[in-house]
Amino acid sequence: MIRISALQMQTAGPDTAANLTRIEKAARQAEEVGATLLVTPELGVTSYGGGGAILDLAEPADGPIVNRLSEIARQTGVAVVAGFAEKADRTVFNSAVYTDGMGTPSVYRKSHLYGDYERDLFTPATPGTCLFSHHGMTFGMLICYDVEFPENVRRLALAGADVILVPTATPQGDSGTFIAEKMIPVRAFENQIFIAYVNNSGGDGAFNYAGRSIIAAPDGSALASAGLSEAFLTAEITPALYALSRSENTYLKDL
């Protein structure tokens, strides 16, 4: 069993220093409740709605942003997953990083870009299997729109993921509500895994976000969920509690 936390975050726009300070505050809150991992939203460090400013804020995976996140993890003992604009190979990716402050950070690049806004800013990555070990469990990462393609989740589940972490920036509207409240629990159920879907909240001048972050269990239940406003969630991830669900819903085995 491990405990994870999620920050449904109201960003300070493209003020990376302020956003990193907010993440640090949440990491310390996670430390207080006994969590070993904090998940934050898509592009939470640079803000999703920053437009062209995001390109100016893009950094390599060994740059100051990731180094600061690693420092936060090292100081609190809470590993951090955060979204940032990654500059690499003469291009910019919509990326998320996992860092525990000790080992080499794991970086995932978004493969399915949503709409002209994202396509004008970022390069899509080839769909990949980004896995890392945390406290004896195997974690995978996707970003927002990626999770809406069942193939992406299934690929990680077949590769052995126990939990998939999904930083997201889903906008307000019927679709955003449906994805969080219906689709994510189904993705967890049909793969018999845990999914932490962690959204932005409020607005950043360009977009208003749906909130409704959720940590879903293999049986499709919500271990924790949020409304529209900024929120801090914590849930215990205990795979042994869902042995019955896995024995009854043998999708991966029966493929």
**What's 133's domain CATH number?**
3.60.110.10
Task: Note whether residue 129 is domain-resident.
Answer: yes
Task: Note whether residue 255 is domain-resident.
Answer: no
Residue 83: pLDDT band by 50, 70, 90 thresholds?
very high
| Given 86, 118, 144, 148, the catalytic residue | 144
Task: Note whether residue 254 is domain-resident.
Answer: no
| Given 42, 59, 86, 118, the catalytic residue | 42
Work out whether strand 214-216 and strand 137-141 pair parallel, antiparallel, or are unpaired: unpaired
Q: What is the pLDDT of residues 95-136, one digit of tens each?
A: 999 999 999 999 999 999 999 999 999 999 999 999 999 999
Active site residue 253: no
User: Cβ contacts of residue 116 below 8 Å, gap of 6+?
Assistant: none
**Count of domains forming the chain:** 1
Task: Note whether residue 253 is domain-resident.
Answer: no
Q: Are the CB atoms for 42 and 75 separated by under 8 Å?
A: no
Per DSSP, the three-state class of 154 is helix
**CA distances in angstroms from 214 to 73, 83, 91, 231, listed in the order given:** 23, 17, 32, 11
| Given 110, 118, 130, 148, the catalytic residue | 110
112: containing domain: 2-248
Give the residue-averaged pLDDT of 72-96.
Answer: 97
pTM flag (> 0.95): yes
Q: What is the pLDDT of residue 138?
A: 98
Active site residue 42: yes
Active site residue 190: no
DSSP conformational letter for 182: I
Question: Does residue 217 carry a pLDDT above 90?
Answer: yes
Task: Note whether residue 55 is domain-resident.
Answer: yes
Task: Note whether residue 138 is domain-resident.
Answer: yes
